[in-house]
Amino acid sequence: MDVTPLIPSGNQIIESYGPSRFRVSGRTFHGSILVFTDRTTEWDPGPLEGLTQESLGPVMEAGRAGKVELLLLGCGARMALLPGALRTALRDAGIVIEPMDTGAACRTYNVLMAEGRKVAAALIVLP
């Protein structure tokens, strides 16, 4: 019996992650990334405590277009809390944000993407 989830054709799947790198749909990225179901882009968020609406601009734009409803924020080695104003701005764009450690965000993204959810992941590299 095949228990591999069916991945819709063309969707991005996070294959692996490690110190300073990610492998998504056969492509290796060195540094932080934004993963959408249809594309992955390099991302330079700066320090986590300085995360802003501007640094999450592509995600907010996708939310306003109805393409993202849930953002998984991979905070690095440990989960961190986000400023309430940032949560509110994302909610206004139609997005719920869930901060967690980066490994958990990678695994959760793959499950939700395979279920057809409107999900994205903002992943900060592990040191």
Domains of the chain: 14-123 (3.40.1230.10)
Q: For position 1, what pLDDT does the model report?
A: 39
Q: How confident is the model at residue 5 (pLDDT cuts 50, 70, 90)?
A: low
Q: Is the pLDDT of residue 19 over 80?
A: yes
Per residue in 81-121, pLDDT tens? 888 899 999 999 999 999 999 999 999 999 999 999 999 99
> How long is the chain?
127
What does R_g of the chain's alpha carbons equal in angstroms? Answer: 14
The model's pTM:
0.91
Q: For position 78, what pLDDT does the model report?
A: 87
Per residue in 38-87, pLDDT tens? 999 999 988 888 789 999 999 999 999 999 999 999 998 888 888 889 99
Q: Is the pLDDT of residue 6 over 80?
A: no
Q: Going along 3-104, which residue ranges are E strands?
A: 14-18, 21-24, 27-29, 33-36, 40-42, 70-74, 96-100
Over residues 18-24, the mean pLDDT reads 95
CA distances from 110 to 88, 91, 99 (A): 26, 22, 16
Q: For position 2, what pLDDT does the model report?
A: 43
